[in-house]
C-alpha cells in the first residue's frame, strides 16, 4: 500500500516540478535577455562616445564571451581594437579599448579598460578582425602562487592583505618598457570601486608582494633612466 501511495505522490508532484522548472527557465531567459540588452546599451554608448561613424578612425567591435565563470561571475567583453600600424606585431592581434561586463546572480557591473588583451588574443588569435566578430574563449586563470598575472585579462587577488580578494584589471602593455599595469577594484554593495590611493594606483608587473610582512615594493624609473624602489607597509587595516 505504501508503494502505491508513493507512486501516486510522485505522479502528482512531477507536473508541478516540471512547471516550476519551465518557470525558472523562463525567468532565467528573461534575465539573460535583459542583461544582454543592458550590456549592448552600455557598449553602444561607449562606442558612440569614442568613435564617430563619419570619421576615418572607425573601429570594429569584437565581442568576447568567456566559457568559465570567474569567481562566480559570467564575463562578457566588447573590445574596440587599436589600429596603430606602427605598434602592431601582427594583423590578427586583438588589443584595444574595452567594456567588461560582470554578472553573478543579482550582482552586475561594468568596467572600462583602456588597454584590454591577453596572451591568447594578442599572440595566438589568427582570425581576421572584423566588425561584430564574436569569440568564445577559455579563461586564462592566475597561478595560485602569484599575486599578479601577466597573461590573464582580469583576475581576483588579495593585494591589500585584508583577507578578501580584489578584482584586478590588466592594462595590457601600458607600463614601463611594455610591461602591464593593473587597476585594483573593491567590490562592495554590488559596485566595483577603483582604489586610487598609493600604491594601488601605480602597480606594474614587477611589483613585489609580501603577505607575511604586509609589504608592497614598487620598482620605479625616472626620466634619466635611473631606477629606485618604493616600499609600502600596512600599519592598520
pLDDT of residue 47: 57
What would the mean pLDDT of 39-52 be, rounded to a whole number? 57
Residues 6+ apart with CB under 8 A from 192: 102, 109, 111, 167, 185, 186
Report pLDDT digits (tens) over 13-33: 344 344 455 455 555 454 444
pLDDT exceeds 60 at position 121? yes
pLDDT exceeds 50 at position 46? yes
Q: Are 127 and 92 in contact (CB under 8 A)?
A: yes
Q: What is the pTM of this model?
A: 0.75
pLDDT of residue 9: 33
Q: Are 184 and 197 in contact (CB under 8 A)?
A: no
pLDDT of residue 15: 46
What would the mean pLDDT of 130-152 be, rounded to a whole number? 92
What would the mean pLDDT of 215-221 be, rounded to a whole number? 88
pLDDT exceeds 80 at position 4? no
What would the mean pLDDT of 100-128 be, rounded to a whole number? 91
What would the mean pLDDT of 196-210 be, rounded to a whole number? 93
Residue 116, Cβ neighbours under 10 Å: how many? 28
Helices (runs of H) and strands (runs of E) counted in the chain: 2, 12
Amino acid at each position: 500500500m505504501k508503494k502505491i501511495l508513493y507512486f501516486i505522490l510522485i505522479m502528482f508532484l512531477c507536473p508541478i516540478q516540471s512547471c516550476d522548472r519551465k518557470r525558472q527557465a523562463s525567468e532565467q531567459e528573461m534575465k539573460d535577455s535583459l542583461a544582454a540588452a543592458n550590456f549592448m546599451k552600455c557598449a553602444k554608448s561607449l562606442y558612440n562616445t569614442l568613435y564617430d561613424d563619419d570619421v576615418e578612425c572607425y573601429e570594429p567591435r569584437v565581442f568576447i564571451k568567456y566559457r568559465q565563470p570567474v569567481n562566480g561571475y559570467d564575463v562578457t567583453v566588447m573590445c574596440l581594437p587599436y589600429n596603430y600600424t606602427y605598434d602592431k606585431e601582427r594583423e590578427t592581434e586583438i588589443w584595444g579599448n574595452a567594456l567588461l561586463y560582470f554578472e553573478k546572480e543579482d550582482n552586475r557591473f561594468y568596467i572600462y579598460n583602456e588597454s584590454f588583451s591577453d596572451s591568447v588574443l594578442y599572440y595566438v588569435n589568427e582570425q581576421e578582425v572584423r566588425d561584430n566578430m564574436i569569440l568564445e574563449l577559455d579563461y586564462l586563470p592566475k597561478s595560485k602562487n602569484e599575486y599578479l598575472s601577466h597573461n590573464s585579462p582580469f583576475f581576483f587577488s588579495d593585494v591589500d592583505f585584508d583577507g578578501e580578494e580584489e578584482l584586478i584589471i590588466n592594462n595590457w602593455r601600458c607600463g614601463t618598457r611594455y610591461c602591464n599595469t593593473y587597476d585594483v577594484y573593491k567590490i562592495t554593495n554590488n559596485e566595483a570601486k577603483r582604489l586610487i590611493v598609493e600604491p594601488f594606483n601605480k602597480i606594474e608587473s614587477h611589483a613585489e608582494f609580501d603577505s607575511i610582512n604586509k609589504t608592497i615594493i614598487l620598482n620605479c624609473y625616472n626620466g634619466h633612466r635611473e631606477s629606485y624602489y618604493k616600499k609600502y607597509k600596512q600599519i592598520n587595516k
